[in-house]
Structures are given as C-alpha cells and as structure tokens.
Amino acid sequence: MDGTVIRCKLDLMLRLIDTTTGDVVNEGDVRFYWNDVYLRSIAKDEGVHIFLNHGRDNGLMHIEVKGYDPKDVEIDYEKLNEGLPGIDVFLIPSESTYRGGGVITFAGRLPKLEKIEAIKVSKPVCSISDFNAKKGIMSLFLPGKRLVMDDVHYGLVNTQNQTYEHFTVTEAVSDATVRLKEPLKEPFQVNAPICRVIFGSVDPKGNFILRVRDNGGDQNHLFRIVVDGEERFLNVDMEHLNGVKLSAAKPRPEPEPEPAKEG
C-alpha cells in the first residue's frame, strides 16, 4: 500500500499581545478575516496563531478578539522573514474588558495624526549601559534578574528633553544584551530608563484612541505622536484628562551644535 504524503506550509504566524500589559492574549474567542473572508487558524501556546497553506499574497488581516478592539493588520511578505513569516499584533483592550483590570481611555481627533503611542516613564523595565552601533547590540542594566525583552518595542528615555527614542528588539544575544533592528539615532545617557511601548490606534481622519490599565497610583505617561510626518511629545496624566489636547505636543528639540574647534 502506497503511503500518503501530506505537505503543509506555514505561511503566517501571528502572536497576539495586550499592548497595555505586554501579556500574550490566549483568549479562545478569536476570529480572523483575510480580505473580508473568514480564515481558520491553528491556536498554539503563548498567544500564537498559525496559518497553513494559505499562500503568501499580500493583503489585509482583520482580527476580532473578545475583550479587545478589532484590529486590522496589513500583511506585506516583503517585510517578513521568508523562513518564518511572523508578526506581533498589539491589541487594545476594550472599555468593557473583564481581564487584567479596568482601563482609562484617551480619545479624540487631531487632523493629520498618523501614529500615537506612550510609555510609562516611572515603570522602566531596565536601563541602558552601552550601545555598539557597528554590531547593533545594546547592553543593559537589569533590575536584579534576567530580563526577557520579548515585547519587541521599547522607548529609550531622554529625561532632560522629556522625549524617547522608539527602538525594536530582534533577539536576545545574552542575558544582558539585545540586538536592535536599526541603530539608535539619538544620543543617550548611560543608565537612561527603557520602557515598554503602549500602542494606540488612529484612523485615516485622525480619530485616535489610547488606553492604559487603571491600576491605581501614578498614571503619568509620555506620549509620542507623529503628525504629518513630524514627531512630537506630550506628558499626559491619564487620571486628569480634562483639557488635555494632543495639539499641545512639542517636537523633539534640535540637538545643540558642537562648539567650534580652535585653531
């Protein structure tokens, strides 16, 4: 009797993450729609969903997860790893969520707004020790234990300017070093805090939503927005949002010119 060979090809892997906590989302009530057509996934541990024999055409993945706002993700295979095409999808908990505690919502509209995100400066995950630009490797000061920087997106804070540089981790090289997707562009101070990025959402008309967990205590966040291609920053107390306007955000200060050399 001839054996039957069944071939499967992994065409896409999505990892669902709660953007307010960094925790993976293992909710069972999940639906995926590929270009408006329902698409079945295979659920794995750690919030991972894989798609087999789907093909590798670019398109739009619409994701619906119980307890979270719907999410649209543009799939562009030219930007993904050919061997293991995977994407981390950061979900915003809905106001009616029952897992992880309540949320605080900051919403509004700002014309020409392209991106909105924030970090909680008072809650760093670690701090920077050094950066090797040639190798793209960042060395870290850790909070007394091994750090697993698997949330991918972080902000390196400039406390003097009240700004931060968003960087992306591609892999852990050792217990205290990570490789970055791109070199740092801004100067930094040793021991500057590194915080996890919280993502908001923006529609084509500039309507935005950003939520954080309502866990009491300090709710001061440093917002980073992009308006018409310009990066801007704003400190926001999420417990006192009356009168807060994104239009008050200020551009990153220009670096001071180096003093002219004598002679």
Segments of the chain assigned to CATH 2.60.40.1120? 10-91
Cross-strand bridge partners of residue 31: 64
The class (CATH top level) of 10-91 is: mainly beta
Q: How confident is the model at residue 1 (pLDDT cuts 50, 70, 90)?
A: very low
Which residue type occupies 87? I
Cross-strand bridge partners of residue 63: 32, 71
pLDDT in tens, 41-65: 988 888 999 998 888 899 999 999 9
Note the pTM of the prediction, 2 decimals: 0.89
